[in-house]
Structure 1
Amino acid sequence: MSTMLDHDASASPRLLVAADSQAYTAATQPHNSSVQQRPVRVAAASHPQDLAVALAEVAALERSLGRSLEVVPQATGHGAGAPVGNSAVLLDTSQLTDVVIDPEARIAVVGAGATWAAVNAAAERHGLLGLAGSAPTVSVSGYTFGGGIGWLVRRDGLASGALRAVHYVDGAGRSRTAADDATDPIDRDAIWAFRGAGGVGIAHTLEIDLVPAAHLHAGALLWHADALPDLVSAWSHALPTLATSASSSIGVLHVPPLPLFPQTLHGKVTVHLAIADPDGPDAAAPLLEAMRAVAPPVLDTWGPTDAAGLARIHLDPPTATPAVGDARWLDASTPDIAAALLATAADDDAGVVMMEIRHVAGAPTRRPGAVTTAPGDFIYHAVAPLNLIPRERIEAAFARARAVWSSADAGTTPGSWLEGAANVPDALTPGVRTRAAAAAAAVDPDTRIRRSRLLG
């Protein structure tokens, strides 16, 4: 199996385009639209070779303008929390979407712009899945480089640990391969940084492990919020009985008036259980029985499913939303505070539309890296849309939640879970941040490429 995607070797003679072009308009509309993007130019890469061409054209533009420009790589823009202004060139990698599956080796070779929906649609034909997250439209690259916490995490670990190699360019436009067995120590440090510290340079192709999931079961269950305390209690007490194949989250969801929800729940506050098991229905049975015994769910989609069904259990909105988020790794004491924490989101005017607690205890570590071991047994996560709720109310809601979860704080933030954040300075421990920053500096000593927001 080839370690690189095969492409036409020719590159566009002119990649940089201005604001009056269709390519510019498309590239500057990230999935998280909570910030404005108005770069001086956009470069839309169609082939891996375009990355070096784009950097050369940026250098020529710098000479003509008489000033330095920052290069900002972006695929789908789910993590686009920092403004991009006229001192930057946006390098759009969303067209690098090739997907090659090796079912015997259980490896996928994918372009940096490929989404998990595309990768898993190809992988599941062979009874395999990648370690995707909650949203199918997220790019494999940004999600994996940020750690990657999905529904198979308790059996198969963080997606960062499934990263085998990354083909990328450095600040000078040279092609490199980051891997554990790379000859150059710069590339060995780079793969370590790509595994959870946001990465270095500009990636164009990833090699990732796939895992077996021929017996995948998953589902979303919703109850009215008045059953919250008893449902959280049932969830908490059932967790110790679960095999590590089963992963779940329990949360509060303010149901929007969308067709995917029963009309009787539109505008209501609900308790939401999302649960998945790639090995079949047995491991999840004790948890489901305990929670169904509290009250019959109004919505219950648990059963055999495919990759598309797995991607629906988080009940994310179908279209891009200008959202901001809050998240934190929590320790083993989280079940003791779970009811009180979720209660902060249960009022009609709570200031958030979703708050969840994700159970990840027991997740294995597949490979060494910046963040390939889960820093806590649980994750707290809350989201609010800026187009519906004033930022002041959102921040107040986050503060109320923080007053509760702080007693279970594990010390860091899951970096890819902070929607709308320009930087996430506490995503990495100080030692990890220092090492990752050194790796980025070795790859790009002149800081031509914007650093990962996890290094902020």
Structure 2
Amino acid sequence: MLLDAQSDGYAAATRPHNSSVEQRPARVAAITSPEDLAPALAAVALLEQSSGAALEIVPQATGHGAGAPVGDGAVLLDTSGLGQVSIDPEARVATVGAGATWAAVNAAAEQHGLLGLAGSAPSVSVSGYTFGGGIGWLVRRNGLASGALRAVHYVDGNGRYRVAADDAAEETDRAAIWAFRGAGGVGIAHTLQFDLVPAPDLHAGALLWHADALTELMAAWSTRIGTVGGSVSSSIAVLHVPPLPPFPEELHGKVAVHLAIADPDGPAGAASLLDAMRAAATPVSDTWGPTDATGLTRIHLDPPTATPAIGDARWLDASTPDIAAALLTTAAGDDAPIVMMEIRHVAGAPTGRSGAVVAPPGDFVYHAVAPLGRFPRERIEAGFDRARSVWSTADAGFTPGSWVEGAATVPEALPADVRVRARAIADTVDPRARIRRSRLLG
């Protein structure tokens, strides 16, 4: 049940998608069905008795949100094997394992004309993404993924199987679903149930320009971003292009402006923005058009393999278009340590079910990523500071916790009262604090 460093499966489980921190736990527990969880916790208890030392339990599916080291005082609970996906097309509900990826969920859902509220990267697990709020390409029409969450089947710190839901019999479980909706969750989740939404005429694409046209492009973006339809979600970014596909060879090794844009309801809502930006400069690459769930996952141009990186992010207010050009310019130099800086448009997103974070705290999101190893951390932090000096005038006061790569904690992800309430729920579910708490709890 518990694997040591010499066992098959240990190495793969301790290589998270964000490999910026080392993971060398005392043991790994490979979870392939919900029934494995209680025995795994019991096995950890026996190991604690034999060693005389308490062990922290660290659940992990894909490790996109890995930020804190996992050392020999911990057991890593590998939930990537919980990959089951079931779609109820009549109820428009998905029931999936905590290790299922959005690629798997939407491949199944789109067979029925439906989609889940997935994010940018197809390899992200539904669990960590949803519990952190979940800002996806349908956010302006359908809201955050946390607001679509119906129920979570989970195990508490004593190994008891529970179901968090608004209509649960026990107050603990009614409180737990509130925490799962945006505060990182509590206990150990193994199965999620969430709403799916129709995508009758899905259009999406990625447009790339030489960064020489940044000034003209940002003028067009700033003027037209407020005119797009209510179902259009988009991201405007500066990107340091690697010499790899799918990027056009003309941009290899250069700095580009990147517009990722999507609308589940057809092409009309995006036309004003696309027309203005195409008129400002001719794109080197333009993939806008009808697409499917797989095509939607490609528009953000995320790296396909595990990457050591650190990130910075912030919710911004409605004044963001006024500072957008200056903000992206801080990452546009050929020698800038930040390889990707974006501004995501989320204004108008509806509020979902009651929960810790079920509505965007701002109209825009700033997000920047820098690779570790290529530049010293001090230089990266200086790059983040330069960006902060610009976006601080549009600061909405909070950080989108799941977008801060490589961070052990994200103390400004939640309002103070929400954080206190979520911590209290975690203490009730796991009174001995056996399970590592979400980094959103600070």
CA distance in 2, matches of 1:305, 1:268: 28
Equivalence for 1:239: 225
Equivalence for 1:78: 64
- Which segment drifts farther, 170-179 or 316-325? 316-325
Equivalence for 1:117: 103
**Deviation by residue 1:309-353 (Cα, 9 ceiling, x = unmatched):** 100100111211101110000000101100000000000111110
CA distance in 2, matches of 1:21, 1:440: 32
CA distance in 2, matches of 1:260, 1:17: 38
**Deviation by residue 1:99-121 (Cα, 9 ceiling, x = unmatched):** 00001100000000000000000
3-state SS of 1:416 partner: helix
Counterpart amino acid of residue 49 in structure 1 = E
CA distance in 2, matches of 1:443, 1:177: 12
- Which segment drifts farther, 176-185 or 228-237? 228-237
Equivalence for 1:230: 216
Identity over aligned pairs, percent: 77
Q: TM-score, length-normalised on structure 1?
A: 0.96
Task: Tell whether 2:251 aligns with 1:256.
Answer: no
Report the CA distance between 1:389 and its aligned residue: 2.0
* Match runs of 1:21-420 below 5 Å: 21-420=7-406
Counterpart amino acid of residue 37 in structure 2 = L
**Deviation by residue 1:9-38 (Cα, 9 ceiling, x = unmatched):** xxxxxx111110121111101111010001
Report the CA distance between 1:393 and its aligned residue: 1.3
Counterpart amino acid of residue 450 in structure 1 = R
Unaligned runs of 5+ in 1: 1-14
CA distance in 1, matches of 2:11, 2:251: 37
Report if aligned partners of 2:314, 2:400 keep a CA contact under 8 Å in 1: yes
Counterpart amino acid of residue 78 in structure 1 = H
CA distance in 1, matches of 2:351, 2:94: 19
3-state SS of 2:34 partner: coil
Equivalent residue in structure 2 for 1:424, among 365, 387, 410: 410
CA distance in 2, matches of 1:243, 1:185: 41
- Which segment drifts farther, 223-232 or 68-77? 223-232
CA distance in 2, matches of 1:59, 1:270: 52
Report the CA distance between 1:387 and its aligned residue: 2.8
Report the CA distance between 1:214 and its aligned residue: 2.6
Say how many residue pairs are matched: 442
**Deviation by residue 1:178-231 (Cα, 9 ceiling, x = unmatched):** 001111111111000000000000000000110001310000001111111121
Counterpart amino acid of residue 39 in structure 2 = V
Unaligned runs of 5+ in 2: none
3-state SS of 2:9 partner: helix
3-state SS of 1:287 partner: helix
Counterpart amino acid of residue 176 in structure 1 = R
Report the CA distance between 1:293 and its aligned residue: 0.5
3-state SS of 1:22 partner: coil
Report if aligned partners of 2:216, 2:281 keep a CA contact under 8 Å in 1: no
Q: CA RMSD in A?
A: 0.6
Report the CA distance between 1:437 and its aligned residue: 0.3
Report the CA distance between 1:158 and its aligned residue: 0.2
CA distance in 2, matches of 1:101, 1:364: 24
Report the CA distance between 1:240 and its aligned residue: 1.9
3-state SS of 1:447 partner: coil
Query: Which of structure 1's runs of 4+ aligned residues deviate more than 2 A?
Result: none
CA distance in 2, matches of 1:334, 1:241: 15
CA distance in 2, matches of 1:106, 1:280: 21
3-state SS of 2:72 partner: coil
CA distance in 1, matches of 2:210, 2:303: 20
3-state SS of 1:291 partner: helix
Counterpart amino acid of residue 418 in structure 1 = V
